[in-house]
Amino acid sequence: MVKFIFVRHGITIDNENMRLSGFIDSKLSDIGKEQVKKTCNRLKYEGIDYIYSSPLTRAVETAREIADFKNVEIKICQNFREMNFGDFEGLTFKEIQDKYKDEFNKLKKDAFKYKFPNGENMIEFHHRISSQLDDIIKKHDNETVLIVSHSGVIRSSLSHLLSKDHIYHWNFKIDNCSITIVEVMDNFAVINTLNNIEHLR
């Protein structure tokens, strides 16, 4: 059995301004830093053997605080980087809709097959997440692995663990500094808790 604890990074200035941030870097806001402290405190209840983190600053800042609190090493994992939104990085949905009307309509039409200009599509994205998760499952039997990452990555992980497919990507809400716990045994996943943010109240 592998126990996954997924933590989304604390809120960033881009998140606060509703700007799409995938591959681009951004830092935690002051509220984000507070969220991370509260998340550490909630994690005192959890045993953690390994921490994997996305390489993006907002995730590493979050993971570093947890790692220090729990005295666990961080493994930086390129595959857990957020989706690459290409030319749309840093824009709001309103700006995309105004500046790239045709592209926005294509995105609305098929969110899974749509490839962001100079970025990824959902299926490519899902493939890098799911292959990384399958690697961890093989490598960490009987261990608890905490993954600090992004909303898209966590949604994609849940869809994969549940169905081996990307189709449930949009069926889960993942808030900043939420905790989601999934146990995987004999290739079967049980979601113990999802998008838990009570510790942020």
Q: Provide the binding-site residues for its own copies, judged by CB under 8 A.
A: 162, 168, 170-173, 188-199
Angle 158-162-168 from CA coordinates, rounded to 5°: 60
Q: Is 9 annotated as a binding residue?
A: yes
CB of 73 to its own copies, least distance (A): 28
Output the DSSP codes for 97-150: HHH-HHHHHHHHH-TTTPBPTTS-BHHHHHHHHHHHHHHHHHH-TT-EEEEEE-
C-alpha 181/C-alpha 65 separation (Å) is: 19
Is 14 annotated as a binding-site member? yes
**Least CB distance from residue 136 to its own copies, whole Å?**
19
Identity of the residue, 148 or 197, whose beta carbon is nearer to its own copies in the bound complex: 197
Which of these is catalytic: 61, 65, 82, 89? 82
* 10 labelled ligand-binding: yes
| Residue from 9, 126, 160, 169 carrying the catalytic annotation | 9
End-to-end CA distance of the chain: 32
Please say which residue, 60 or 133, places its beta carbon nearer to its own copies. 133
Rounded Cα distance between 181 and 71, Å, is: 20
Q: How far is the CB of 170 from its own copies (least distance, A)?
A: 7
> Is residue 141 a known part of a binding site?
no
Residue (25 or 198) nearer to its own copies, CB: 198
Task: Indicate if 9 belongs to the active site.
Answer: yes
Nearer to its own copies, 148 or 174 (CB): 174
Annotated binding site for substrate: 8-15, 58
Active site residues: 9, 82
